[in-house]
Amino acid sequence: MSNPQIEIQLIAAVVAIACAIPGVFLVLRKMALISDAISHSILPGIVLGFFITQDLNSPLLIILAAITGIITVVLVEWIQKTGLVKEDTAIGLVFPALFSIGVILIAKNANDVHLDVDAVLLGELAFAPFDRLMMSGIDLGPKSLWVMGVILVITMMLLLLFFKELKVSTFDVGLSSALGFSPAILHYGLMSISSVTVVGAFEAVGAILVVALMIAPAATSYLLTSDLKKMLMLSVLFGVFSAISGYWLAHWLDASIAGSISTMLGLVFLMVYLFAPNKGLIAVMYRHKQQRIEVSLLTFLLHLNNHNEEEERHINHLQEHINWQKIRAKTVVDLAEKNNLISINNQVVSLTEKGNNFTSIALEYIITNKDEKIEHLKDDFFLFRG
């Protein structure tokens, strides 16, 4: 590994951590798309800053762009407050307009601006190590590493200082304002940090990847845990893992680093989305299927309980009566038989003693609708699932 390679990975990792932390709060506060809006609408701020400073890494540029980001948030909220359009429409109206202004500003001054919209949108991490921070002749490392490092340190400090306040205001706005933490200050604080992070990161990784780095790790870890601290930790982990593995994917394919980092983020998310215990797609679908069968079983038993006539309990009749398809009917009957809830005599189904008890308790639950009745049901009558 050469020196620039290590530096690129280091920058990618730092950006990933710096994005993951505000990202968690944005996802939890249902404001994930604000990051998308900010990342686009800082363009005019960057362009204006660039006109003034002629330097893509100057602090003034970052401040100007961050202010544009905050203006975006304020504008969006102002439009929401007028009640003329729904909230998501407000986001969708503001950022394309600001972005267009940025694009036009660049296009009109194309001759004297060395700034490319593609570069802003997509970034080029591979060039980051060549822009060095020199101080009195000493090479201190890549500039963007310093910029992102400072942003990360500030974010970490604010997170540690205000963790409790952020946590309360994220999960219970009413409680937090009752306790005396101003939701507005925390809200705008979070927005400012997000803007600054987006601005700091855009040059290295581009505006779109910033969105990916903010939302994807947070969403991935949200599927795995509901503990805020664990979620933060997991997000950082996923972010860094995708950043490093993405770099090597890009190296291997000779393609855009930003693109391959988001591809890695996407793969990690897809894996977790499919296979997460409890909240993953497969777990959820399996649970739904089980619940469907359990409800069917209950319906079936209640039907038997209601009817003494033999023709109502004939196994062929059940299909048309409860309107089940063949396979479903068979699954339910098999399950009931396996659990000794029914017995089948000469094609006529009847409840066993256990089945009778089970049904009467279930009936009591349905009538009283008290949760504690159903809680014990499964323990008392242990069910073997098919």
Partner 1 sequence: MTITEYFNLLFTDYTLRTITLGTAVLGAICGMLGSFAVLRKQSLLGDAISHAALPGIAVAFLITGAKDTNTLLLGALVSGLIGTLWIRGMTKKTHLKSDTALGLVLSLFFGFGMLLLTYIQKQPNANQAGLDKYLFGQAATLVESDVLLMLIVTGLALAVMLLFWKEFKILLFDADYTKTLGFNTKFIDITITFFIVLAIVLGLQTVGVVLMSAMLLAPAAAARQWTNKLSVMVFLAAVFGAFSGVFGTAISASQNNLSTGPVIVLVASVFVLFSFIFSPGRGLLFRQLRFRRNRRDLELKKTLQFMFGIAETHADISHPHAIKILNNFQGFAKTSLRELEEKEWITLNKQEWALTEKGFVAAKTMFETKEDNE
**DSSP state, residue 384:** P
Is residue 142 helix, strand or coil? Answer: strand
Binding mask 38-67 for partner 1 (x = CB under 8 A): --x---------------------------
**Rounded Cα distance, 132 and 122, in Å:** 21
Return the residue of 22, 69, 259, 355 that touches partner 1, per CB under 8 A: 259
Q: In this complex, which beta carbon is closest to partner 1, that of residue 242 or of residue 339?
A: 242
Closest-CA residue to 293 (of 320, 322, 331, 247): 331
Q: In this complex, which beta carbon is closest to partner 1, that of residue 122 or of residue 166?
A: 122
Give the shortest CB-182-to-partner 1 separation in angstroms.
24
Give the shortest CB-205-to-partner 1 separation in angstroms.
10
Contact flag: residue 204 with partner 1 (CB under 8 A): no
Residue 138 has phi, psi (to 5 degrees) of -100, 135
Contact flag: residue 274 with partner 1 (CB under 8 A): no
Contact flag: residue 293 with partner 1 (CB under 8 A): no
**3-state DSSP percent of the chain in helix, strand and coil, to 5:** 75, 5, 20
**Rounded Cα distance, 344 and 313, in Å:** 10
- Selected range binding partner 1 among 6-14, 186-194, 203-211, 227-235, rule: CB under 8 A: 203-211
- Selected range binding partner 1 among 57-65, 90-98, 160-168, 328-336, rule: CB under 8 A: 90-98
Binding mask 216-255 for partner 1 (x = CB under 8 A): x-xx--xx-------------------------xx--xxx
**Rounded Cα distance, 250 and 255, in Å:** 5
Residue position matching structure tokens 């991490």: 125
Contact flag: residue 31 with partner 1 (CB under 8 A): yes
Contact assessment for residue 22 and residue 214, using Cβ atoms and an 8 Å cutoff = yes
Residues, the chain: 386
Q: What is the dihedral of CA 198, 203, 209, 211, to 10 degrees?
A: 10
CA angle, residues 15, 17, 87, in degrees to nearest 5: 85
Contact flag: residue 298 with partner 1 (CB under 8 A): no
Q: In this complex, which beta carbon is closest to partner 1, that of residue 200 or of residue 355?
A: 200
Give the shortest CB-40-to-partner 1 separation in angstroms.
7
How many residues bind partner 1 (CB under 8 A)? The answer is 64
Helices marked H in 206-256:
207-222, 228-253
CA 290 from chain centre, in angstroms, equals 27
Q: In this complex, which beta carbon is closest to partner 1, that of residue 121 or of residue 342?
A: 121
Is residue 137 helix, strand or coil? Answer: coil
**Rounded Cα distance, 167 and 201, in Å:** 25
Instruction: List the interface residues with partner 1, window 111-130 (CB under 8 A).
Output: 117-118, 121-122
Which residues sit at the interface with partner 1, rule CB under 8 A?
A: 27, 30-33, 35-36, 40, 79, 82, 84-86, 88-89, 91-93, 96-97, 99-101, 103-104, 107-108, 110, 117-118, 121-122, 208-209, 211-212, 214-216, 218-219, 222-223, 249-250, 253-256, 258-263, 265-266, 269, 273, 279-281, 284-285
